[in-house]
Chain A
Amino acid sequence: MYSLKLALKSLWYDKWINLLSIVSIATGLFILGTVLLSLYNIERATQNMPERFTITLFLNEKISKKDVDLLIKRLKRESIVKEIDYISKEDALKELKTSLKDAAYILEGLDENPLFPSIVIKVRRENFDRDRVEALIKKLKGFNQIDEIIYADEILESIQDVYSGFKFVSLGVSLLFSVSVVFVCYSTVKILFFRRKEEIEVYKLLGATRSFIRAPFIIEGTIIGIVGGVAALAGNYLLVSLLKGMTNPVAVLKLIEIPVQLMVILPVAGLVLGLTGSTIALGRLKY
């Protein structure tokens, strides 16, 4: 309790240096928040893409009903497969006639059905992964009753690229700004510590333990971190409301949302980074 009182007193006593640190931390965490915000909204925008992704298997013309059933049974066992739709030669022709509508007469001259039976596979969103899709396709290529496999290679690649590319950049940016926040807390506490060097010497001579001496500084660094986190959160809210309130916004900006998790992540990140920075700054006190 006394340590908290000392920390609060010191926050007020050295208010300008502390304010400067809060602004620096808030800036770092604001950028971190913006990255998380973008990641969240990009993920939201692309989350339906896997559902549009299908794999079509063109089967051998002479495939027996028994082999089709066996293939479907095997496909159902795959965790990535969500839906299997078997289209027989006859169904394919019917479908073609329907889609041709008035031009269906061009099929009248045919002696036999030229179409192939096929299976259309839809994949699960939660299990969507390029490697898994490719592994399944490799497995399917082993079936001699499958003549051809068609799937949207480009969609597969772009979904993967958007995810992995942005996640990679986000990780880098987050790491960079986390380190800078730790550094700001480190410098603040180090400066405060040096300013009170004589006071700390007196405490040591009076018999104060390390934890008694360190506690007010650690509390102070942590408070600075939390306040910086809350300020960054406020900045992110302001940014989103500004983007949404623009008079002629790009349509996608209207859809931007702040994830609830950000309300916890930023202050907690401030707390953890503030705590880390001040602990490193104090180092090991010697008697």
Chain B
Amino acid sequence: MIGFNQVTKIYDNITALRNVTFSIEKGEFVFITGPSGAGKSTLLKLVYLAERPDEGSINIAGWDTETLKEKAIPYLRRNIGIVFQDFKLLYNKTVYDNIAIALRIRGIKEAEIKDRVHEVLKMVNLRHKTDSYPRELSGGEQQRITIARAIVGEPTVLIADEPTGNLDVDNTAGIMRIFREINAKGTTILFATHNRDLFRNTGLRVLRLDNGNLVSDEKG
């Protein structure tokens, strides 16, 4: 599903990732961990092609980044749901429109959009907030809207960059429950966090980065 082969990424003479090689199978739930500046975000950006590798190659859901043309990037991204620590919600749009936009860009009809948005809102327990604006919601609720937006297009891969970084313990537990549910339906998840409690004793795979190097690949 995701394959990194000898990937190196350099920013202004600083090596963010160095010869990173790993592969992730379909339906896996994988944590990416490591201290700040270890290269977690860079690795995720390479997956959704916000960045291109300086060396090595990446394969995502059958798309090879070496040969992928720029105009094909939107179509690759439709296979990938992204959840950010800072939510990246549109604050002048309602909860409904924030989620619906992910389907509108695919040219899906409004009647179908309505059904699918309500379905994902039910999944994240925010059906009653359909017409609210993001600023009227708590941090945990905003993050659940971001997750709903990421999964409404039914992506094969879900990427999360420190999605619980700004949340309290209860909200974190709620978010993790939603991720496990999504994964149980077959979606591959790549979850970056520096919080060890999230993967300790879960038995899930953990890739540990340090100073741009992949230092371990083991079960949590």
Contacts and interface: CB of A to CB of B under 8 A. Distances in A.
Interface of A: 2, 13, 198-199, 201-210, 212, 286-287
B106 interface: yes
Given A287-B70, A287-B73, A287-B74, A207 B106 contact: yes
Contact of B77 (A199, A206, A286): A206
Contact of A203 (B73, B75, B105): B105
A199 B78 contact: no
Contacts of B149: 206
Contacts of A212: 105
A108 B142 CA distance: 116
Contact of A205 (B75, B88, B106): B88
A13 B93 CA distance: 12
Interface string B148-188: 01000100000000000000000000000000000000000
B46 interface: no
Contacts of A209: 71, 74, 105
Interface in B76-101: 76-78, 80, 82, 88-90, 92, 101
17 contacts: A198-B88, A203-B105, A205-B48, A205-B77, A205-B88, A206-B78, A206-B101, A207-B74, A207-B75, A207-B77, A207-B78, A207-B80, A207-B102, A207-B153, A286-B70, A287-B50, A287-B70
A189 B70 CA distance: 24
B49 interface: yes
A202 B92 CA distance: 13
What are the nearest 10 A-B pairs in CB distance?
A: A207-B77, A207-B78, A208-B105, A287-B73, A207-B74, A209-B74, A206-B102, A202-B88, A212-B105, A2-B104
A287 B45 CA distance: 12
Interface string B112-156: 000000000000000000000000000000000000010001000
B82 A205 contact: yes
Contacts of A198: 88
Contacts of B88: 198, 201-202, 205
Contacts of A2: 104
Contacts of B80: 207
A209 B74 CA distance: 6
A207 B105 contact: yes
State the majority secondary structure of interface residues on A. helix
Interface of B: 48-50, 70-71, 73-78, 80, 82, 88-90, 92, 101-102, 104-106, 149, 153
Q: Which of B49, B50, B75, B101 counts the most chain A CB atoms within 10 A?
A: B101
A199 B91 CA distance: 9
A212 B88 CA distance: 19
A204 to B, nearest CB: 8
A282 to B, nearest CB: 15
Nearest to A208: B105
Contacts of B48: 205
B101 A287 contact: no
Nearest to A205: B82
A206 B103 CA distance: 9
Nearest to B110: A2
Contacts of A201: 88
Nearest to A13: B92
Contact of B101 (A13, A203, A210): A203
A204 B74 CA distance: 7
Nearest to B70: A287
A220 to B, nearest CB: 16
